[in-house]
Structures are given as structure tokens and as C-alpha cells.
Chain A
Amino acid sequence: MPSPEPRAVFEAFLRAVNSRNEAALDALVHPDYLETHPQSGERTRGVENLRAIIEQYPGDYEDKGLHRVVGSEDRWVVTPAYTLLRIEGAGDTFTSVQQARYPDGSEWHVVSIGEIRDGRVWRVQTFFAPAFDPPAWRSSWVELIQPAEED
């Protein structure tokens, strides 16, 4: 049986985490899984620890309900947790960009770099980047992207 496409594996993984579909994770997560949050210096090893964190997550997820389509290669899904804006990459390495809104109303871009090995998610590095007001000093070279037309 051919291995699933790495892009599809990564998308299914993100979808499973976002929807807290823990049953789906076993088939998607590599035995040597490592997830790193470089901003806080945290590393999660293995599917059991990942599952525990998903189960214990203290906040509520909120679906922003965005639907967008970008390019022929990009996939779009809407999840209960984050809104997946795009997945791009090639080979075994993909980058996902999601938008998240936390209960305090803050908006974040969540960027994950995923590496697929043996048809499963092997490495993930995730960065959380807050929305900010566009700086005035560079406004003369910048056009503002309307949320509805972001590509």
C-alpha cells in the first residue's frame, strides 16, 4: 500500500490536534515525535505527552470561521481551534499558518514547520506570533492587506 502523501499527513495531524481527535493521532504521529516551542524552550516527546497536553489544555478553542483559498497547492480547512490558512512546502517539509483568537480577544498567527518521516509527523516546531499595528515608518512602501483578500 503506498504511503499517504506527506502534505496530507501533516494536514490530517493539524486537523486532529485542532479538533482534539486524539484517536486519530496514533496513526499520524511518528514513534520518535518531537515538538518544539522555541519561544519558551519547551519540547514535547512522543504521542502520549502530546495527548496529555491536548486533554489538559485549560482554555477554550474558538473557531474564527474563515474560509479562504490560496493557490492550487494550498489546502484550507476550518477547525474548532485554529483556522488553518495555508500549508506550503515540498518533499517531506511543510509549513502551516493558522490564525488563532484567544479568549482575551488577542489574534495570533501560529506557524508550524512539520517534517514527515515514514508517513507520519516526525518533527514540529511551532511559533506564536501576535498581530500588531503596521509600523508607520514603513507605510510609504506598504499596502495594507484586507483580511478578506489576504493571500
Chain B
Amino acid sequence: MNEAAARELIRDHFASGGKDEARASRIYADDAVLEFPQGGERIRGKANIQAMRTAYPARLDFENRRTIGGGDVWVNQYTIRYDGRPSHVVGIMEFRDGLVVREAIYVADSWEPPAWRAEWVEPIVPSVG
């Protein structure tokens, strides 16, 4: 997978997400599989992925902070705001023939840094509100 092509597809995917799900779904192959492992959920096919996202019962705003990877595997670290409430998200995209054939998405909230390890840790500004 050409890096510039992958990054452009990913950029457009996030620019469209939450606004134009047909356009956001262009990144997926027709037989793409999307998984939410935390819920044990698997969605098969671009059409179902698009239908699911179109039905999302909250207003979604995406902010992709970082895309890193190589070859056919690219990982996005981003923020989704569900009706304004932010969550950390990691999405692992696997490409084949220039399109995503498998994506696994993990969603995680912020938490307070544990006091017991504070002396070995530097505080940084959490990347999500």
C-alpha cells in the first residue's frame, strides 16, 4: 500500500465521518469487516458499515490526531466526540488492493493518573478533554 494513497484515503475518511457516511465509507472494500472487540461485535460488508454509521444515535465529531503504520497496516489515534463528549479511539486498518478489508476499533475514556506511580511518571496534557 502506497503511503501517500493510504494517508489520503484516511484523511478523507475522517473529514467525512459524522457528516457524509457514503463518502466516509469509500475507504472500505465491499467485503470489509469492521469489529468492535470490546462489544464482541462484527459488521460485515461496506453496505452494513455505512448503514450502521448512518443510524448512529448521536452526533459524532471526529478528530484524527495521528496516523502511523506501514505496508498494509495503518493505525489511527483519534478523538470521537459523542454529542460533544470525547473518547479516545484507536482504529487498526488493514488494507488490501488499496482499500480497507478489516478494521478493529477500540474506544476508551480518560482516567485519573494513579498516585502510586506518580514519582516515575511525567504528567502531560491528556490528548482528549
Chain A 33-92 interface residues, beta-carbon cutoff 8 Å to B: 36-45, 49-50, 52-53, 56, 58, 88-92
User: Is the CB of B112 closer than 8 A to any CB of chain A?
Assistant: yes
CB distance from B115 to the nearest CB of A (A): 10
How many chain B residues sit at the interface, stated as a range, is: 35 or more
- Please judge, given known A-B contacts A56-B116, A93-B69, whether A40 and B110 are in contact too, CB under 8 Å: yes
B-contact bits for A110-151, CB 8 A (1 contact / 0 none) = 010101000000000101111111110110011111110010
Pick the residue among A36, A88, A135 that contacts B94 (CB under 8 A): A88
User: Is the CB of A95 closer than 8 A to any CB of chain B?
Assistant: yes
Nearest B residue to A142 via CB reads: B41
Note all chain B residues with C-beta closer than 8 A to A16: none
Binding site for A on B (CB under 8 A): 35-44, 48-49, 51-52, 55-57, 68-73, 75, 77, 88, 90, 92, 94, 104, 106-114, 116-117, 119-128
